Amino acid sequence: MRLFNEVKIGNHTLKNSMVMSAMTRSRANIQGVVGDLTELYYTQRASAGMILTEAINISEQALGSPFTPGIFTQEQIDAWKKVTNAVHANGSLIYAQLWHTGRVAHSIDRNGILPVAPSAIAIQGGKHFTAQGPQDYEIPRALTTEEVKEIIQDYGQAALNAIEAGFDGVQLHGANGYLPHQFLAENANQRTDEYGGSIENNSRFMLEVMHTLIQAIGGERVGIKLSPFQPYGGIVLDNPVATFTYLIEELNKMDFAFAELMKRSPAFPLLPSYPDIDELEFFGPKIKAAVIANSSFTKESGEAALEKGLAKAISYGVLFLANPDLPKRFELDAPLNQADRMTMFGGGEQGYTDYPFLAQ
């Protein structure tokens, strides 16, 4: 099966075509420092050809939820070194997913400071998880043009910090309603400066961040995650096909390792104004970099996507969470552990490092 074949992405050769996708697990301490449990968690899953970490805050300003890790202090960097060393010792690659949450945040966990966003527009409906329980979303503070440029530089510094921490590369989290995605969406971005007002301007932030990451550490160590039709975080684009077609065309002018293309989660209905097309089949062939297909893939659907040439690798999230030896289980057609959704976010080893291996 192609899932078990080696694959070259960037300058790296993955031992198989199965990638562990990023999943927020909220097991860092309040200072954003990961510990021994996180080291064990990723080491257990080093059977993946490559691991994409949970999203990592690039700065104090980037923080959206409690107990999520950072990579902007020396203590955080040093803690991640233990994780990357352990994953490498167990034969896998590990990329840091770089995160700025933008308006998907709350002042409770930000020392009373409001979240920032392209425009002062709150997410409508839903609640945000905070240290004090679910809370209504706040109206964020609109970033100045100078602050936007400072955040772009924060991404570059976070990439350098990631390399210092021993990561093989970084992935820009450009999906799921976080800051780069907010800049793309007209319902979250009503700016009148160079970062808003047209598809070209709305795309500028993400493109400048990618350029900065590539300049900082080299394109062969940079990836991006995109979710064209995912409405998480209240994101609605006027014309997602036109926006992402332009964005991909501009990204194609850069040299970088991969684009993880996330299909809309079945948990979210297709927005009425969005076309009912398969994102992977439509956008995948337009992307020059290696494509990693993501979201709700099974062994069979992942293999089919590889067979069709739609992707070079498949990223699995919840399946890797519950099955640290997922490649072996796929190889043997063994039963799969089911994920405990009550323990996904926060807590200790339960639902984190206690999922059994086949041998157990």
Residue 356 is encoded by which pair of tokens?
Answer: 């059994």
Q: How far is Cα 10 from Cα 255, in angstroms, rounded to an integer?
A: 9
Q: Is 195 tagged catalytic? A: no
Residue 225 is encoded by which pair of tokens?
Answer: 């995650």
Q: How far is Cα 123 from Cα 135, in angstroms, rounded to an integer?
A: 12
- The active-site residue out of 42, 95, 178, 355 is 178
Name the nearest CA neighbour of 96 among 146, 22, 148, 24. 22
Q: How far is Cα 90 from Cα 162, in angstroms, rounded to an integer?
A: 19
Residue 144, amino acid: T
SS3 category, 116: strand
Q: How far is Cα 88 from Cα 301, in angstroms, rounded to an integer?
A: 29
Q: How far is Cα 59 from Cα 285, in angstroms, rounded to an integer?
A: 34
- For the annotated catalytic residues, the residue numbers are 178
